[in-house]
Amino acid sequence: MNAPNANQSTANHEIWQAAIGWVRSHMRIVHWVARPYLPYMAADEDDLFQEATMAAVHALIVVQQKNSPQKLTPFFRVIFKTHCLKMAAGVQPVHSAHDYLLCTASREEEEYLPEPYPCEIEEALQVIDGRKREICSWILQQELPVTTLEAAHQFKVSRRQVCRLLNHTLLQLTEAA
């Protein structure tokens, strides 16, 4: 296989930069297309931006090949919608996930909230078994808070699987309480 020449590399870089600029200036279209799929996606604003950028690169290449720049937005919408469908595939809707995952205590209140005793944690985790328990125990053993991405890397699963697992675990724990 031949090494890419400088012109091809420059063209690829230009397309990538054009896609980033286009997405930044058309975020309202990104949100409009993604809105129906957001409850089914384990994605944040950065994920949406990255997926939209990849869709924009694809759309820009198609527009260049077909020599029809006026069709960039329609091509982008179709391609990005496909990306959103793929990100949402297999994920059950999570209603009010942020209510469960966000800590409501302020920094001043945190000082007065006692840490649960290990026996209390172990008692709460009795309702959970298997992989859920293993992941939850690992997360609770960390000195500093960890992200779902870090947990995904630790257990060699996708971030979406960790989010789904944590959501199911929280529901299971609230039902048991």
pLDDT per residue, tens digit, the chain (177 aa), is 455 566 667 778 888 999 999 999 999 999 999 988 888 888 888 888 999 999 999 999 988 888 888 888 888 999 999 888 888 875 555 554 444 444 444 444 445 556 677 787 778 778 888 888 888 888 888 877 888 888 888 988 888 888 888 888 888 877 776
pLDDT at 6: 61
Distances (CA, A) of 136 to 45, 161, 168: 25, 13, 12
CATH code, 97-176: 1.10.10
Q: What is the pLDDT of residue 104?
A: 46
Residue 67, pLDDT score: 85
Domain ranges for the chain? 6-88, 97-176
Where are the alpha helices (H) located in the chain, listed in sequence order?
6-25, 27-34, 45-66, 72-88, 97-101, 107-112, 118-124, 130-141, 148-155, 159-176
- What secondary structure does DSSP assign to 112-139, as a single string? HSPPPPHHHHHHHGGG--HHHHHHHHHH
Contacts of 138 (CB under 8 A, 6+ apart): 151, 154, 155
The pLDDT of residue 17 is 92
pTM of the complete model: 0.48
pLDDT of residue 52: 93
